[in-house]
Amino acid sequence: MYLSTKGAPAYLRTPGNPGKMQRTFTDQMLREITVEHPPRRIISLAPSQTELLHALGLGEEVVGITKFCVHPEAWYRNKTRVGGTKQAKLEKVAALEPDLIIGNKEENTREDIEILAAQFPVWMSDIHHLSDALGMIRSVGQLVGREAEGEGLAAEIERRFERLERELSDKAPIRTAYLIWRKPYMLAASDTFINAMLQQAGLANVFAHRSRYPEVSLEDLARANPQAILLSSEPYPFRERHLEEFSQACPQSRVQLVDGEMFSWYGSRLLEAPGYFRGLRRELLGG
């Protein structure tokens, strides 16, 4: 667990500024942070949450994002970029004087977060399942003064997934392998948000007995004999030219390129995921 901010310098948490209200929040790693509320200078270190902040109606309040925060495009072009999710440029972060930093346990490094949390309020998400993502959306809405917007967004996402679940209740799951990397081949296994989304889509992960993001060989894939092999657009950008190597190794499997954002982004993009999963299942079943 990352360091608590309770003993951090209170550069914005000192009394003597009666024009601002302070509130204390608990993040998804059970860390307490105190922020000036609503925050006016926010940095997002996770692409899914950057897009969420836009969906919640924020604009000028977001002063910094990462180089992987490609949505919305206007923010990617115009907001200050503070490095990557794994290698934040700490001096750029400090220069922006944030009153709130939003990060993610898996996407950001422990070292960066500990350094930043010693100087600034840092709220961390920890996402494994759809329920975690919905909780994050509601919590971030409260955190940034957009509680009604966060609740409405989460409720609509929940409604769309519930409808998909009803539609799939009498359908057999499609046995699937989900590739995320090449050289070496790596895939998403258990204890990942991608695996949770596969389940939501009615796809049974044939490597669910493995943990996290294991390396596999083409021989491993052939032995698992999935009905479908999904090649993600991220983090490795699989393309049409990669289909043949998997088709040769697993001639009985349907090999399909998929939009990785639909399986791994856990913010407002979840609105689009149920419809995407519905269409993908039709394709995999030849419909």
Three-state DSSP at 210 gives coil
Assign 287 a pLDDT band (cuts: 50, 70, 90). Answer: low
Inform me whether the pLDDT recorded for 9 exceeds 90: no
Q: How far is CA 178 from CA 67, 192, 216, in A?
A: 25, 12, 11
Q: What pLDDT is recorded for position 1?
A: 34
Question: For residue 116, what is the DSSP state?
Answer: H
Element containing residue 219 per DSSP (H, E): helix 218-224
Averaged pLDDT score across all residues of the chain: 93
End-to-end CA distance of the chain: 46
Q: How far is CA 73 from CA 53, 79, 95, in A?
A: 13, 10, 23
Assign 286 a pLDDT band (cuts: 50, 70, 90). Answer: confident
Same CATH fold assignment for domains 21-157 and 171-284: yes
Do 109 and 86 meet the contact criterion of CB atoms below 8 Å apart? Answer: yes
Q: How far apart are CA 189 and CA 211, in angstroms?
A: 5
Q: How far is CA 205 from CA 38, 69, 119, 214, 286, in A?
A: 42, 28, 42, 13, 19
**Domain 171-284 has what CATH class?**
alpha beta
Q: What angle do CA 165, 168, 169 make, to 5 degrees?
A: 85
* pLDDT tens per residue across span 178-233: 999 999 999 999 999 999 999 999 999 999 999 999 999 999 999 999 999 999 99
Domain 21-157 coded CATH 3.40.50.1980: yes
Q: What are the residue ranges spanned by the domains of the chain? A: 21-157, 171-284
pTM as predicted: 0.90
| Six-digit token string for 276 | 């995407």
Q: How far apart are CA 43 and CA 66, in angstroms?
A: 9
Q: What pLDDT is recorded for position 7?
A: 35
Inform me whether the pLDDT recorded for 11 exceeds 50: no
